[in-house]
Structure 1
Amino acid sequence: MPRIAYFGPQGTFTEQAAGSLAGQGDELVPVDTIASALASVRAGETDAACVPVENSVEGAVPATMDALADGEPVTAVAEAVLPVRFTVLTGQDTEQIRTVASHPHALAQVRGWLAEHLPQAQLVASTSTAAAAVGVQRGEFDAAVTAPVAVTHYPLRVLATDVADVPDAVTRFLLLRRPATPPPPTGADRTSIIAFMPDRTAALAEVLNELAVRGISLTRLDARPTKGRLGEYRFHLDMAGHIAEQRIGDALAALHRRCTNVRFLGSFPRADGVPSTVSATAGDTDFVTAADWVAAIRNGDQA
């Protein structure tokens, strides 16, 4: 039975995302941290891992970015995008609530609601939304901001549902496996990489130019420190397209020449189904025609 590790415990948005990406009969295995989820895949203990990668309100998830950059490579084969609406669980009467716990990203997305409805409560960060619910069960906190699925796992009173300061907020999740042949292109794909930049002037501009001249659209660009020297960064880039396309493969080859290291994180179908836009001179046929022209010149044929 295939096993999918996910950032747990039970009752998180990641569990919901893992369920949407799992195949029939797959076993979902909760683990304590994002790093542990990826470590289980690298060690062969599980077949895949589901982790959050970015939120439309709070941006990239640093723990995922760091875990993808460290250790042996893993690659994404699918993604899921979930609307983020929260449920507030408690074991107390409203007037007795003095502490509200949740993951920092969750607290940031309901700060306005909490200020209006529980102004007396102190906000406490927990490792996950579900861990906050566990803390309420144990008497460590008075209330927890959780994913809606948490109500099926924890026997707590529902204080409020459908809570969100930004109604259209979403979180994107990745399903990651050990490196293998990427899923075939669909025409609506995303390619993710980590580029480790050399310490020289305009290094990032050079990388972005390699994408621009090939008509490649970036869908995400984030920087994280390398944790070595102060001022050294690695860049996480998502681009529209698939490595099977000539323009994407050509761009990655160029980045491999320019960067100190490039880690391929996968080419996979986009959850939103938005097709890639290819400029009039950047299609596969254009690359083949240009390569044939150069080959002909090298062979002395300039007809």
Structure 2
Amino acid sequence: MLIWVNVHGGFLLAFVLLGIFGLGSVWTWLRLKESRIEESLQKIAAGKRVRQITLVGLASAGASLVNPYGWHLHAHIYSYLSNRFFMDHIDEFQSPNFHGIAQRCFLVLLLVTIAALACRGKWLRLSQTLLMIFAVYTALYSSRNIPISSIFLATIVGPLISLPVTKGFVRRMGVMDSTRRGHLWPVIATVATLMIALNGGRVGSTSLMDAHFDAGRMPVDAVSFVAQSGVHGPVLSPDYWGGYLIYRLYPRNEVVIDDRHDFYGEPFLRSYLTMMHVEPGWEDFFKWVRDPQQNTGVEACLFR
């Protein structure tokens, strides 16, 4: 948690997962009776899990405060995610468009999940059911959640639809792991991949990794022209190009906007979208980026 909270705002997901599994353990503890020895042992184990999850949650909550902003970071993330304008206008927070390949893959996984529940749903624990509901809701609410939701669903549905051939594979992998054979190959593969990456993706004269940006998605040639043209002022481009421009042009050029929308605030983003859609008052956006003292403003614009 100490590392997570200082590198990505998704650390809040840890508390959601702790809450889900904590509720599952509490439900198991409440549901079990002590009339039989087997249930008594299960009840003791469930109570132990509740205590462990509670301690981990408290420790994680304390660790999440160890960041440059303290509790203000949590407040900032809450205000960002609860801002309806951001949620309604930022593309990655929109519900998925199932015409894309990634969205179609998730749709297939969702259909498989429904089929698995119809056949073997009674085998699910409460924590698995809650996690599945959370995964489906978050993925359908925002397309940016599809990758992590897919992982959650796969870990739940996979055991429900396991076939004899997959059971045999899992058993063989378990035997290999228990006998500690074959562990050297992943280490060798990891070290080899790292060495190839450090060598620019090449092995001798053969290129195995392409570390270049796709010119079809990013303004590679245009940014190269700006870098060679002597422009030193702010550069305006669509927000989804902003990160690439920062990578290529910083620190010589400032970027007017990038996709870290919470840093800019709602008024700035509203004005930016008005300019992008060429709506009445679009020219007011350039007042945001003009420095009246130095009489400078946007010096280059990159659009497609």
TM-score when scaled to structure 2?
0.21
Report which of the two has the higher share of helix. Answer: 2
Report the structure number with the largest CA radius of gyration: 2
TM-score when scaled to structure 1?
0.21
Report which of the two has the higher share of strand. Answer: 1
Structure of higher RCO (CA pairs closer than 8 Å, 6+ residues apart): 1
